[in-house]
Structure 1
Amino acid sequence: MMNNNFFSFQYHALKPLARWGLGSVIGGAILSLIPGFWRHFGLQAISWGAIDWLLAVAGRRQALLKAEDLALGDIDENEAHAAAERLRNILLINAGLDLLYIGSGLWLIRQAGERTDRRGMGAGILVQGLFLLLFDSILAAEIQRRWIPPSP
């Protein structure tokens, strides 16, 4: 059993992203069979979901290896602290990008007019961006709370 360290936390914290990604791929594949709006919504879900799933799987694998290194003493708590700060910073940058995705989805919906395919694409981007904003923001806040001590 792994010690409770940042890397084991990271391993478990990325599980919802993996589940969202896999669910998006499966749900998107089903929706892509329906013409018009839902087809293009589904294609966005497949694309974004595959990327989310791959990032989560890779991140979980790396976290598991680092957790083992920490437990064996091959790396120390200072490196774990630095990794926590790096991940928090990446998540905060991603949250900013997520706002751009949300805005892009809304813009596409507004510009689509009668084109249901474009509205579906915009709605698909909007939904993925909203999930990622919530995920990235909540995880960054949790890392800040649990792993990064307040500055003096």
Structure 2
Amino acid sequence: MSSARIVTSTVVHRLTRWGTASVLVGGVLALPRRTRGFGVQTLMWGAIDLMLAAVTRGRDRVPRARILRRILLVNAALDIGYVAAGALLAVRTPTLGGRLRPADARGHGLAIVLQGAALFVLDLIAARSLRR
């Protein structure tokens, strides 16, 4: 089995675990009003993670190691952007014309920071394992 296939399989497995945990925890935290923003955002990220893992798992072909490493590093850079955007949302707490409570905005922002940071670690570890 190629190193790219092994890394892809490992990433899919980790993403599935993280997505499942995010959906479960997010679902529970979305119920109380005081944690609703954090919970909803966590649940949505988890659902997307699970969808990406399922689509990737279903593919017969994986990119070559060099290309896969580049994809993972680009994803890691995007993850940094997610963390920054989430931090901005958490600090600024926009209400979007009264449609969002400041506490919910803070919760959404903090959840984005957490998700971005976790995905950054996942992507960076995988990319590092493909280092020459």
Fold equivalence (TM over 0.5): yes
Residue of structure 1 in register with 2:71 after alignment: 90
- Is 1:120 the counterpart of 2:107 in the alignment? yes
Q: Structure 1 residue 57: deviation in Å?
A: 1.9
1:10-25 → structure 2 map (5 Å cutoff): 10-25=8-23
Partner of 2:129: 142
Q: Which residue of 1 aligns with 2:98?
A: none
Q: Percent identity?
A: 36
- State the Cα deviation string for residues 58-94 of structure 1 (Å, max 9, x = none): 21232xx34xxxxxxxxxxxxx7x6211211111111
- What residue is the counterpart of 2:48 in the other structure? 51
Question: 2:99 aligned with 1:102, yes or no?
Answer: no
Q: Which amino acid aligns with 2:30?
A: S
**TM-score, scaled relative to structure 1:** 0.75
Higher gyration radius (CA): 1
> Does structure 2 retain, via aligned residues, the 8 Å contact 1:106–1:123?
yes
Structure 2: gaps (5+ residues): 95-100
Q: Give the one of 21, 24, 27 matched to 2:25.
A: 27
RMSD: 1.8
Question: What's 1:72 paired with?
Answer: none
Displaced runs of 4 or more, over 2 A = none
Alpha-carbon separation, structure 2, partners of 1:101 and 1:44? 13
Please tell me whether the aligned partners of residues 11 and 61 of structure 1 are also in contact (alpha carbons under 8 angstroms).
no
> Contact (CA 8 Å) 2:11, 2:122: kept in 1 or not?
no
| Map of 2:97 onto structure 1 | none
Given that 2:16 and 2:50 are in contact with CA atoms closer than 8 Å, whether structure 1 keeps it comes out as yes
